[in-house]
């Protein structure tokens, strides 16, 4: 049988909800064949919950990427947590030569590992802008990441998000999806797509769950899978928006501090 092949270049989230684990689960549920290149391993100290981030050596990252891209071939690719400027620059050099659709999830904050919304790697923002965004078919920042990429302090409204999307588009990304999620006023969860000409708005009901770990990774993985199967960017975001809402409805608690959205919900529709 023929099946579309996708690669994620991202970090391993030991707790299983985000990172490579979210990506592979999502790829499976969306009917594409997932492969991975692991950039970093994230663990948590069980009692204090302090995050522990173990970098994978650049040479090992290169071997993994070569295994997949040179050895097998892909239909689409996504990136997730890229922990150092050196790794971002290397991944950028790989993207530069690719003809396939590229989804960049500009991961900057990891709530479960930092316990806050501080930027874990501020120097990486400049590197992402320079080395990754010019090759992005789609970039999928949340509001915090969008503000960082656009160089503005904070995004509070849809109007401000539109301004940020224009700035991020100017950095080279062909499509910018800003995940407003539940954070704008009003009773809908709203994500915004800008393709350099038009804005499109994708709405779902606001689902208020504490157990939303991995939502960002899962979102970008789903968009990657849909694009690999031949959907347009707009169709891919529309499908993903629906599926994320369902996955949030079916989210669950793992322990007192983390719970993922339910990737299984992605198989439903």
**Residue 70 has which token pair?**
């040179």
Least distance to ligand PXL from the beta carbon of 110, Å? 3
**Distance of alpha carbon 210 from its chain centroid, rounded?**
19
Exactly one of 13, 75, 145, 160 binds ligand PXL (CB under 6 A); that residue is: 13
Angle subtended by helix axes 19-29 and 215-228, to nearest 10: 40
Q: Of 13-21, 26-34, 59-67, 142-150, which segment contacts ligand PXL by CB under 6 A?
A: 13-21
Task: Report the residue from 113, 137, 148, 220 that binds ligand PXL according to the rule CB under 6 A.
Answer: 113
Taking the complex as a whole, the smallest distance from the CB of residue 47 to ligand PXL amounts, in Å, to: 18
Which of 6, 61, 81, 168 touches ligand PXL by CB under 6 A? 81
Please give the structure tokens belonging to residue 84.
């150092």
Nearer to ligand PXL, 76 or 82 (CB): 82
In sign, the C-alpha dihedral spanning 257, 263, 264, 269 is positive
Q: Is the dihedral of CA 139, 230, 222, 57 positive or negative?
A: negative
Q: Please identify, using beta-carbon distances, which residue of 121 and 169 lies nearer to ligand PXL.
A: 121
Q: Give the H/E segment covering residue 233.
A: helix 233-249
Of 37-56, which residues contact ligand PXL (CB under 6 A)? 42
Does residue number 80 form part of the binding site for ligand PXL (CB under 6 A)?
A: yes
* 187-195 long-range contacts, CB within 8 A, separation 24+: 189/245, 190/158, 191/237, 191/241, 192/158, 192/161, 192/162, 192/165, 193/233, 193/234, 193/237, 194/162, 194/165, 194/166, 194/169, 195/169, 195/233, 195/234
For residues 190 to 219, the per-residue mask of contacts with ligand PXL, x marking binding by CB under 6 A and - elsewhere, is ------------------------x-xx--
Q: Does residue 83 belong to the site contacting ligand PXL (CB under 6 A)?
A: no
Contacts with ligand PXL, residue ranges (CB under 6 A): 10-13, 18-19, 42, 80-81, 107, 110, 112-113, 214, 216-217
């Amino acid at each position: 049988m023929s099946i579309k092949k996708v690669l994620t270049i991202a970090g391993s989230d030991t707790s299983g909800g985000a990172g490579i684990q979210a990506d592979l689960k999502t790829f499976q549920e969306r009917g594409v064949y997932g492969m991975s290149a692991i950039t970093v391993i994230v663990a948590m100290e069980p009692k204090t919950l302090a995050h522990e981030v173990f970098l994978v050596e650049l040479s090992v990252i290169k071997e993994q990427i070569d295994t997949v891209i040179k050895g097998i071939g892909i239909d689409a690719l996504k990136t997730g947590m890229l922990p150092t400027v050196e790794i971002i620059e290397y991944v950028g050099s790989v993207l530069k030569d690719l003809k396939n659709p590229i989804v960049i999830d500009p991961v900057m904050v990891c709530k479960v590992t930092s316990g806050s919304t501080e930027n874990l790697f501020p120097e990486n923002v400049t590197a992402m802008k320079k080395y990754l965004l010019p090759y992005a078919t789609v970039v999928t920042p949340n509001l915090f990441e969008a503000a960082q990429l656009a160089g503005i302090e904070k995004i509070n409204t849809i109007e401000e998000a539109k301004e940020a999307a224009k700035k991020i588009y100017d950095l080279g990304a062909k499509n910018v999806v800003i995940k407003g999620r539940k954070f704008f006023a009003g009773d809908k969860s709203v994500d915004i797509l800008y393709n350099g000409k038009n804005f499109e708005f994708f709405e779902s009901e606001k689902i208020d769950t504490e157990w939303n770990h991995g939502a960002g990774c899962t979102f970008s993985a789903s968009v990657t899978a849909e694009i690999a199967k031949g959907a347009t960017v707009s169709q891919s975001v529309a499908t993903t928006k629906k599926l994320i809402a369902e996955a949030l409805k079916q989210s669950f608690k793992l322990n007192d501090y983390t719970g993922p959205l339910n990737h299984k919900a992605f198989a439903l529709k």
